[in-house]
Amino acid sequence: MSNPALRDSKVVLAVTGGIAAYKAVEVCRRLVDSGAHVIPLLTDGALRFVGEATFSALGSERARVSLFEDEDPIAHVTLGRLADLILVCPATARSLGSYAAGISDDLLGATLLATRAPVVVCPAMHAEMWEHPAVGDNLSLLRSRGVTVVWPEEGRLAGGDFGAGRLAGCDSIVSTVAEVIGADKSELRAKGGSMAGLRVLVTAGGTREPVDPVRYLGNRSSGKQGYAIAESAWARGAEVSVVATTSRPVPPGVEVELVETAEEMRQAVQRRRDADVVVMAAAVADFRPSRMSAEKIKRSGKPTTIPLEPTPDILAELAKTSPRGQTLVGFAAETQDLLGNAEAKLRSKGVDLLAANDVSAPGAGFGHDTNAVVMIDSRGGRASVPLSSKARVAEEILDRVLALRSQPECGEEPSNTLEGSDGGGRLPCVGTRPDRDLNLLVSHP
Ligand SMILES: Cc1cc2nc3c(=O)[nH]c(=O)nc-3n(C[C@H](O)[C@H](O)[C@H](O)COP(=O)(O)O)c2cc1C
């Protein structure tokens, strides 16, 4: 059953080479059933006990098994960054020792050092190993660094023995993971994150433009990216409103208004137009039927054409009237000439930051849990976020928003050296916000 703390959380499930590795299959399944996005990682030791195929089939993604031979050349960094939590289950004496000593000679060791996410370890081993002072010392050290331990139980061990060191039960492992992830999110917010005091408005999902009472013109947007941005902004302490066409779980205190058409979205956005940051992640229809048929169009009616008219351009409208100090972020879903189209959109809409994604690329865009975007901003800054979880993409976008907000407005004297500036004097802008300079393009590699 779905667990709110685990829903949409990215869990790297690292399986190491102990006899209890087979129990990690059930843990994997339970985490996935609870709504977590599970990426299995198997050590060489684990592969002697359980199969890669099992975890690839039951996890949310293929199992990762190699530091050097993965299709991602920096798999350890990617995993370390996208994880909301790393669970080592079961954790062998060897893996605990390596982690405590900071050894990164395999994918697990390197990922554990490359992450800032919380780590939960579930030791499991024979009683003699469990009672060895080296194992106890390693665990004490890891705990002092903030690692959570799910303590093993007494019970039947391999070879018919009985004693301490048996892997904790699946229930207590899954509930500890949920607790640690939940606590991490709340702690971040309670600390007063980087967006404390800011009002953030996010739009999400694809609009639906009615043709008749039962049919509509729509698109494939799921709203996942917009909701991920809303959740990240909330975790950073912002006051968050979402205007969306799709409903997804949100953290406590996030206001959601559900709408259907571009016009309804426009009105809902206009009511919150004074937000400090507006992220238009929704896929708003460009056209709608000029007139909605009051009755269901019958097959016998044989309509040959549906006349269309443009929908309101919410983003451009916002840009024209956006209050000073507001940061406006747009999205561009493209299927060709990503950068060219994104640059054109940045200029024509007059936004501060544009996140462009190639929705035809594998794993990116509509409906997926992952995305890849190129970010270009009105100061000429460019950055690309390779295929990552939508939560990670959200973090990168909000980091960029904060970086832009920390820079002086165009035309003001810069207070320090800035990425995207020409090093002094008036700051260049390439956007077309009405209060900003035009025509200066500063390219960044
Ligand atoms: C049959 C068998 C069972 C084992 N069970 C465990 C175990 O439960 N816990 C443990 O720490 N090591 C156990 N080991 C030792 C590990 O497999 C060994 O230390 C291995 O190098 C661990 O690799 P890894 O930590 O990279 O997965 C076992 C070895 C064998 C041959």
Does 435 fall in a domain? no
pLDDT given for residue 408 in this prediction: 63
Q: What's the gap in Å between 81 CA and the centre of ligand 1?
A: 28
Does 410 fall in a domain? no
Please confirm whether the linkage preceding 90 is cis (ω < 30° from 0).
yes
For residue 220, give the 3-state DSSP assignment: coil
Does 223 fall in a domain? yes
Residue 87 · residue 13 · CB < 8 Å: yes
Q: What is the pLDDT of residues 354-372, one digit of tens each?
A: 999 877 777 666 767 778 8
Which atom in ligand 1 lies closest to the alpha carbon of residue 44? Answer: 26
Of 189, 215, 245, which marks where a domain is finished? 189
With a 6 Å cutoff on the Cβ, whether 17 touches ligand 1 is yes
**Location of structure tokens 């997804």:** 248
d(CA 438, CA 160): 77
86 & 206 share domain? no
107 & 207 share domain? no
Q: Is 307 exposed, middle or buried (0-12, 13-18, 19+ CB in 10 A)?
A: exposed
Q: Which residue has the higher pLDDT, 226 or 249?
A: 226
Q: Which residue has the higher pLDDT, 277 or 411?
A: 277
Does 412 fall in a domain? no
Average pLDDT, the chain: 86
Does 416 fall in a domain? no
343, HSE (Cβ side, Cα atoms, 13 Å): 14
Q: Which residues contact 34 (CB under 8 A, 6 or more apart)?
A: 1, 2, 3, 6, 7, 174, 178
Q: What's the gap in Å between 96 CA and the centre of ligand 1?
A: 12
134 & 170 share domain? yes
Does 413 fall in a domain? no
Of 162, 189, 216, which marks where a domain is finished? 189
d(CA 228, CA 202): 10
d(CA 328, CA 433): 10
pLDDT given for residue 8 in this prediction: 76
Does 430 fall in a domain? no
158 & 252 share domain? no
Mean pLDDT for the stretch of residues 167-188: 86
**Location of structure tokens 């561009």:** 332
**261-270, 302-311, 401-410: which is most confident:** 261-270
Mean pLDDT for the stretch of residues 371-382: 89
Residue 415 · residue 427 · CB < 8 Å: no
Q: Whose CA is nearest to atom 2 of ligand 1?
A: 19
Q: What's the gap in Å between 158 CA and the centre of ligand 1?
A: 11
48 & 167 share domain? yes
Of 158, 189, 220, which marks where a domain is finished? 189
111 & 256 share domain? no
Does 5 fall in a domain? no
Mean pLDDT for the stretch of residues 61-87: 93
Spacing of C-alpha 241 from chain mean position: 18
Q: How many domains does the chain have?
A: 2
The residues assigned a catalytic role are 219
159 & 285 share domain? no
124 & 20 share domain? yes
d(CA 228, CA 230): 5
Determine which of 207-216, 266-275, 406-415 has the lowest per-residue pLDDT on average.
406-415
What is the enclosing helix (H) or strand (E) of 358? strand 353-358
With a 6 Å cutoff on the Cβ, whether 45 touches ligand 1 is yes
341 & 230 share domain? yes
pLDDT given for residue 347 in this prediction: 85
With a 6 Å cutoff on the Cβ, whether 18 touches ligand 1 is yes
Q: What is the pLDDT of residues 243-254, one digit of tens each?
A: 999 998 777 688
What domain range includes position 29? Answer: 10-189
Q: What is the pLDDT of residues 394-411, one digit of tens each?
A: 989 999 999 999 876 544
Mean pLDDT for the stretch of residues 252-259: 89
pLDDT given for residue 118 in this prediction: 94
Q: What's the gap in Å between 19 CA and the centre of ligand 1?
A: 7
Q: What's the gap in Å between 92 CA and the centre of ligand 1?
A: 6
Q: Compute the C-alpha angle 115/121/123, nearest 5°.
A: 150
Mean pLDDT for the stretch of residues 77-106: 96
With a 6 Å cutoff on the Cβ, whether 152 touches ligand 1 is no
What is the enclosing helix (H) or strand (E) of 143? helix 133-144
176 & 283 share domain? no
Q: What is the CATH number of the domain that holds 87?
A: 3.40.50.1950
Structure tokens given for 273: 């137009």
With a 6 Å cutoff on the Cβ, whether 38 touches ligand 1 is no
With a 6 Å cutoff on the Cβ, whether 95 touches ligand 1 is yes
With a 6 Å cutoff on the Cβ, whether 165 touches ligand 1 is no
244 & 154 share domain? no
Q: Residue 185 pLDDT > 80, yes or no?
A: no
Determine which of 43-52, 143-152, 175-184, 313-322 has the lowest per-residue pLDDT on average.
175-184
pLDDT band per the 50, 70, 90 thresholds, residue 335: confident
Q: What is the CATH number of the domain that holds 284?
A: 3.40.50.10300
Q: Whose CA is nearest to atom 3 of ligand 1?
A: 19
152 & 117 share domain? yes
Its pTM stands at 0.57
